Amino acid sequence: MARPAVLAGPVRRMPPSASSEDAVMADRRRKFDAEFREGAVRIVAESGKTLAEVARDPGINETTLATWVSRARPAAYTRAWLQRKASTKPGD
């Protein structure tokens, strides 16, 4: 029995129900710049809308937006802490 030829590049394991179009779409990842990500996070924080509502309009994956929000929160807490620390003087 002949052995299959070795393919160059990474092996993509797709579920049995996946089509060849799904494999092509996996290669088409959209890139979002920092300004866009920060704006989306700001809308979630200030508008009172759910993640799903904010993600739906520009077509962002809800999980992607949730990741951006979770990464932004620790940074915001750190900035607020540093500002409080800088505004307090020793001995106050």
Domain ranges of the chain: 31-87
Q: Indicate the pLDDT class of residue 90, thresholds 50, 70 and 90.
A: low
Spatial distance between the Cα atoms of 14 and 63, rounded to a whole number of angstroms: 20
How far, in Å, are 13, 39, 85, 89 from residue 20 at the CA level? Answer: 11, 35, 55, 63
Tell me the per-residue pLDDT of 5-57, one tens digit each, with 9 for 90 and over. 444 444 455 556 655 565 555 567 889 999 999 999 999 888 988 989 999 98
- List the CATH code of the domain at 31-87: 1.10.10
